[in-house]
Amino acid sequence: MKENTTAEGLTVMYNEVKGTANGMMVSGENITAEVTGESFSITPDADWHGTTEVTVTVHDMAYPSDQASSSFMLTVSSDGEEPLAPPVVEPPKKESSGGSMGILSLILLGALGANRRRKLH
């Protein structure tokens, strides 16, 4: 299937011996599945393409340990369109010298003050 599409109406056939209600689960990496009765749909993650394993499990609702699973490889091909990269906004650069100039000023003031005291005595 192509990326950014949904495969719908995938049907699971199974044989129920006990006549009880059944449930179905569909799982795999990079996909989302929606189960409706005895069928399901698969939607790959947005802008994802590649191959992934999909597992379909049918279980007895009254006896959940009574279950059967089957897996298949799903290949999602590129639609040929690359997603646009979000624009990167850089914060404005500060032109302040920050605290380093403040500390330097304090050191210089301290040195001048010490020099003045020496001259007064």
Which of the pair, 116 or 29, is modelled with greater confidence?
A: 29
Which of the pair, 121 or 16, is modelled with greater confidence?
A: 16
CB–CB of 9/41 below 8 Å? yes
Which strands sit side by side in the sheet containing 7-11, from one edge to the other? 7-11, 39-44, 31-36
Q: Given this model, what pLDDT does residue 11 score? A: 93
Phi, psi of 28 (to 5 degrees): 170, 160
Q: Given this model, what pLDDT does residue 109 score? A: 57
pLDDT per residue over 97-109, tens digit each? 555 555 555 565 5
* pLDDT reading at 76 higher than 90: yes
CB–CB of 113/106 below 8 Å? no
Query: What tokens appear for 55 in the block?
Result: 């597992």
% of the chain surpassing 90 pLDDT: 48
DSSP helix/strand/coil, 45:
coil
Q: Given this model, what pLDDT does residue 96 score? A: 60
Distance CA 94, CA 18 (A): 74
Kindly list the structural domains of the chain, giving each domain's residue range(s) and its CATH number in brackets, ordered by start.
Answer: 7-76 (2.60.40)
pLDDT per residue over 24-66, tens digit each? 999 999 999 999 988 999 999 999 999 999 999 999 888 888 8
CA distances in angstroms from 119 to 23, 26, 115, 116, listed in the order given: 96, 89, 7, 5
